[in-house]
Structure 1
Amino acid sequence: MNDDNSVFADARVPFPDAAYATRASNRLVEALVPGTGLGTLTPAIAWSGRVQGTDAPRPFRDITGLIVSGGHDGDFAYADDPADESILTRLAERAGVSLRRLETVTGAAAETGPVLSEDQYLECLEIGKQAADASIDSGADLLVLCGLGPGTRTAAIAVTAHLTRIPPVELSPRLRLPGGVIDDNAWMRRTAAIRDAFTRLGGPGRKAQTMLTELGGPVMATLTGIIVAAAIRRTPMLIDGPVAAAAALVSRDFSLGAPKWCYAPDRIPHPVVERVAGQTGMAEPIGFGVDVGEGCAAMQAIPLLQQTLRLFDELPFPEPEPEPEPEPEKETDDGAAADDETVEDKSED
């Protein structure tokens, strides 16, 4: 458990029970169907069984999306416009997902100094914790996370590169702007900003507070608070893009169990997402690699996830074998003999 802050200092994050993933998968093999089962949808069954704690997972009842918006100053956000949430909002409506929006501060330029003060860092964690708790208290049994804002993807690349010791250029795909324009100049400006931030940071420190105050910024800090708080309360989360994925990677500093409650049923084809999925042992996706904005792939995959769980619930399975009735105890003379010995012992006394 990370002890460099007071928000989660005494919290314990449980692991979801991996045995239920195996049991749910094994149960699926026993289904009385003519074919081979649910194919590439099987990982969703295994993950759902794991986080629901059952070998017969059901569709989630109440899903809430938490949209965290903010941004960065400096070249992390060079040529990066504020996100258009219209597609995300429509997909959420069609999927039956209620949305909560969280606005954060704008982080400072990472190439010249820390992006957050310690007080801002703790405030972001607290905002994330309160949002997760409020959603769960309102009945949510599944959360969908997305982080939006100028510079947030560059911050995700920087954090993931620093935590995994992978050169940032290997985690930075060519930069495509709206309209299909490839902007190599913006890519170089952002990559240079990451390099300068690493030079300024200067050390191998990989604690959550260091990562989030020096590189990650307010959106990622808030998402990290959500992930840890929801994991503490055994509530699963869906992610899909690099910002939420990087936050899941940071959450391991609080507990290795925190990112185990996250799943990307569909993944934006971004190197950060692929790296985090491998680092955290995330279940395989069931989607098609939708990339139209952070959060959209998860929203698009929710109807498929729910339908998969309904189908699993409707499959015919063999009746469980009745447990054998216990055999009646046979009468013996042992008790009488014991009594006789007791009597004899007493008589000798």
Structure 2
Amino acid sequence: MSDRSLDLDDFSDLIERPHGGLRREAEERRALTGLPPRALGRLEDVGEWLGSAQARVPVRPITDPRLVVFAGDHGVAELGVSTRPAGTAKELVRELLDGASPAAVLARRFDVPVRVVDMALDCDPGELPAEVTRHRVRRSSGRLDIEDTLTPEEAEAAFRAGMAVADEEADAGTDLVVLGDLSVGGTTAAGILVAALCGTDASVVTGRGGGGIDDLTWMRKCAAIRDGLRRARPVLGDQLELLATVGGADLTAMTGFLLQSAVRHTPVILDGVVSAACALVGQRVAFRAPDWWLAGQAGGEPAQAKALDRLAADPLLEQGVEVGGGTGALLALPLVRAAAALAAELPVREGPEAEADAEPAGGAGVVDAT
């Protein structure tokens, strides 16, 4: 990939840390509410994270979140590594679009708009709305155990598509992204990425997937991850080539999305093992990028636990949700909204020391570092 025009090294210069200087102001403001330290537990941390991301104290309440779901089929599913037949991710997408999936129910309940981005579904583009398929790179990704999942050109196109979606969301005023994925075979690709980047073997990262696979299917999945890992290790020094080799179009786009969201100062809630694996790749590209991401919930996939440990990311919830589509991350959204509301609206004590903070909802008392 030496001739490509996309240079991932640029992200190291483009991505800044959230405004860490405001954490002290947030802590001081919390003290002026009269609450004892840590009285709100993790909600204090989340409120400070949001304030740093917004470069503002008190934090603005979350008003325009969006569920963004990247979708694709993976050729490795032909090996029987999932409970679902290969090439059927379109059915999962259709359930989400029709409002019939767990993620759709929660998004409707929490009043969160849903955006689906088809990167490599194995179906005719005409079977889905044009706004879903307009970024598609190819029809299904290659079989990662024996061939590259993407050509160099496809990998760059997928990565740029993810960046474009991040820009579109930032330009539209999205103030928090709930990130999800829908695929058949995607957790196998994610397991390879995590094992390769963490220097471990296939059995350590092979989980049961969203469908709770049986022992025989687990063995096939473990073998596929082992074979893919052999192909991934020689290209660890080049993250885009790594994604082309074993990641597929959806995971490549998600990585581009995460990094560009960090460039645009858009905070993101991660869902399950796939988004965690993409975040791990993103960390290799730009070490400051993970400061813009929050682990929503811990599922049952060992690869997710391995990735989050390497990212030093403590999940907000532990619900074991594995159905995908952003369901687990959506469960964390009410807590994030609650943290923002508490940080923004709890009254501070009156007096000389609190004079600057006397109007927590806006106006006086606002420290804006933008």
TM-score by length of 2: 0.78
Q: Which residue of 1 aligns with 2:361?
A: none
Q: Is the 8 A contact 1:159 1:216 kept in 2?
A: yes
The structure-2 alpha-carbon separation of the partners of 1:97 and 1:25, relative to structure 1 and needing over 3 Å to count, comes to same
- AA paired with 1:142? L
Q: Is the 8 A contact 1:72 1:108 kept in 2?
A: yes
Q: Which residue of 2 aligns with 1:56?
A: 58
Q: Deviations over 1:210-268 (max 9, x none)?
A: 22011111111010111111111111111120111111111123321222211123332
Structure 2: give runs of 5+ residues left out of the alignment.
121-139, 355-370
**Superposed, which structure 2 residues align to 1:73-84 within 5 Å?**
73-75=75-77, 78-81=81-84, 82=89, 83=92
1:72 to 68, 71, 74: 74
The structure-2 alpha-carbon separation of the partners of 1:61 and 1:46, relative to structure 1 and needing over 3 Å to count, comes to same
Q: Is the 8 A contact 2:178 2:270 kept in 1?
A: yes
Q: For 2:41 and 2:229, how far apart are their aligned partners in 1?
A: 44
Asked if residue 190 in structure 1 is aligned to residue 226 in structure 2, the reply is: no
Q: Is the 8 A contact 1:56 1:313 kept in 2?
A: yes
Q: Is the 8 A contact 1:158 1:194 kept in 2?
A: yes
The structure-2 alpha-carbon separation of the partners of 1:63 and 1:77, relative to structure 1 and needing over 3 Å to count, comes to farther
Q: For 1:206 and 1:34, how far apart are their aligned partners in 2?
A: 47
Asked if residue 162 in structure 1 is aligned to residue 204 in structure 2, the reply is: no
Residue 204 of structure 1 and its aligned partner are, at CA, apart by: 5.9
Q: Is the 8 A contact 2:296 2:331 kept in 1?
A: no
Residue 132 of structure 1 and its aligned partner are, at CA, apart by: 1.1
Deviates more, 1:142-151 or 1:36-45: 36-45
Structure 1 vs Structure 2 CA RMSD: 2.7
Q: For 1:100 and 1:193, how far apart are their aligned partners in 2?
A: 31
The structure-2 alpha-carbon separation of the partners of 1:97 and 1:57, relative to structure 1 and needing over 3 Å to count, comes to same
Q: For 1:276 and 1:201, how far apart are their aligned partners in 2?
A: 16
The structure-2 alpha-carbon separation of the partners of 1:103 and 1:31, relative to structure 1 and needing over 3 Å to count, comes to same
Q: Which residue of 2 aligns with 1:44?
A: 46
Residue 202 of structure 1 and its aligned partner are, at CA, apart by: 5.5
Q: Deviations over 1:90-138 (max 9, x none)?
A: 1112112111111112111111111110011011011111111111111
Secondary structure of the residue that 1:120 maps to in structure 2?
A: helix
Structure 1: give runs of 5+ residues left out of the alignment.
324-349
**Superposed, which structure 2 residues align to 1:1-349 within 5 Å?**
5-6=5-6, 10=10, 12-33=14-35, 37-75=39-77, 78-81=81-84, 82=89, 83=92, 85=96, 86-105=101-120, 106-173=140-207, 175=208, 178=211, 182-201=213-232, 203=234, 205-282=236-313, 284-294=314-324, 295-319=326-350, 321=352
Q: Which has the larger radius of gyration?
A: 1
- AA paired with 1:52? Q
The structure-2 alpha-carbon separation of the partners of 1:252 and 1:287, relative to structure 1 and needing over 3 Å to count, comes to closer
Secondary structure of the residue that 1:18 maps to in structure 2?
A: coil
Q: For 1:221 and 1:244, how far apart are their aligned partners in 2?
A: 11
Q: For 2:284 and 2:5, how far apart are their aligned partners in 1?
A: 12
User: Aligned pair count?
Assistant: 319
Runs of at least 4 residues off by over 4 Å? 2-5, 7-11
Q: Which residue of 2 aligns with 1:339?
A: none
